[in-house]
Amino acid sequence: MPLNPSRSRAKDRSSILGRPEFLSLNVPPRNNKSWRRAGPSKSQQNQPSENPAEPPDEDCMLLNPSFKGIAINSLLAIDICLSKRLGVCVHTSSSWGSVRSAVTLLALTGHGITWICGTLVCLTQSNTPAGQELLVNLLIALILDVLTVAGVQKLIRRKGPWDMSPGFLDCVALDTYSFPAAHASRAAMVSKFLLSHLVLAVPLRVLLVLWAVLVGLSRVLLGQHHLTDMACGFALGFLHFALMETVWLSSGACQTLISIGTFSWGSVH
């Protein structure tokens, strides 16, 4: 018995409308006023929201970074990579671990405690006003260098390329962070100071400059500083020297400070 054509067409239409892409056509039109009064149904309330809250700013990825940001991040990545590669004396098992003691001793020659104690000893042994003037100004420059570097390090709080805790002498000298490199700053300031105020032969002047460079590099080899920390330390040391030349204390002022420090008021003329 042949099927009714109208029934077959209705059956085909219902099967087509049952597909997922045509489900929205089966939804009856809403009465806007009644739907607004009724509000969402319980099933709609239980369903999760299709537009969740936006993530915080720190979880968002910057899709269009600036050229300046890309350049800075690239330079920092290169700095960290090179500094880690140059940390060949970090441990005794490193590639240059056999000379770690010698490199540590070289770095100790640029330590703040070493130079401040040595300057105080030389000051007690000096008997000439010119020598005392030089040593007092050097002592002030060393104290200025220690305090300035410690303040910048506390402000920046940059860690070194290797996760290493500072030693006892570093904690005493307030050298607990990586940026800027305190040894490099001190070596640059001291070498420039001595080259400007002492008459030295050419070989000694070359050795003094070489010593300053090696002291700054030694801390990179030991894994304490990045290359940029060392470079900024050298720049800060030259800045300290220029500042000390501006506020240079005269011989009379130095004699007054020495008399106050030694409580010898009667010797001041």
pTM of structure: 0.70
Please list, in sequence order, all residues whose beta carbon lies within 8 angstroms of the beta carbon of residue 135, skipping any fewer than 6 positions away. Answer: 119, 122, 123, 126
Catalytic residue among 91, 111, 183, 226: 183
SS3 170: helix
Structure tokens given for 29: 């039109």
- Rounded Cα gap, residues 145 and 129, in angstroms: 24
- Rounded Cα gap, residues 215 and 220, in angstroms: 9
Judge whether 267 lies within some domain: no
Judge whether 26 lies within some domain: no
Judge whether 164 lies within some domain: yes
Q: How far apart are the first and last CA of the chain?
A: 138
> Do 237 and 209 meet the contact criterion of CB atoms below 8 Å apart?
no
Judge whether 108 lies within some domain: yes
Query: Helices in the chain by DSSP H: which ranges?
Result: 5-17, 23-26, 32-38, 42-46, 67-86, 100-108, 112-125, 129-156, 168-172, 182-197, 202-221, 227-246, 251-262
Please list, in sequence order, all residues whose beta carbon lies within 8 angstroms of the beta carbon of residue 106, skipping any fewer than 6 positions away. Answer: 214, 215, 218
Judge whether 68 lies within some domain: no
Chain position carrying tokens 């109208």: 6
Is the torsion defined by CA of 201, 206, 209, 210 positive or negative? negative
- Rounded Cα gap, residues 186 and 182, in angstroms: 6
In Å, how far are 30, 44, 57 from 50, measured between CA atoms?
A: 21, 11, 20
- Rounded Cα gap, residues 107 and 114, in angstroms: 10
Judge whether 163 lies within some domain: yes
Judge whether 73 lies within some domain: no
Catalytic (active site) residue 269: no
List the pLDDT tens digit at each of the 269 positions of the chain. 455 555 555 555 555 555 555 555 555 555 554 444 555 555 555 555 555 555 555 445 555 568 778 888 888 889 889 988 888 888 888 888 889 999 999 999 999 999 999 999 999 998 899 999 999 999 999 999 999 999 999 999 988 888 777 778 888 888 889 899 999 999 999 999 999 999 899 999 999 999 999 999 999 999 899 999 999 999 999 999 999 999 999 999 998 888 887 765 444 44
Judge whether 93 lies within some domain: no
How many other CB atoms are there within 10 angstroms of residue 164's CB atom?
15
Domain that holds residue 248: 99-260
In Å, how far are 28, 30, 107, 126, 216 from 234, measured between CA atoms?
A: 78, 76, 15, 29, 8
Structural domain tally of the chain? 1
Structure tokens given for 222: 């030991």
Catalytic (active site) residue 111: no
Catalytic residue among 91, 111, 197, 225: 225
The whole-chain average pLDDT of the chain stands at 80
Query: Helices in 87-201 by DSSP H: which ranges?
Result: 100-108, 112-125, 129-156, 168-172, 182-197
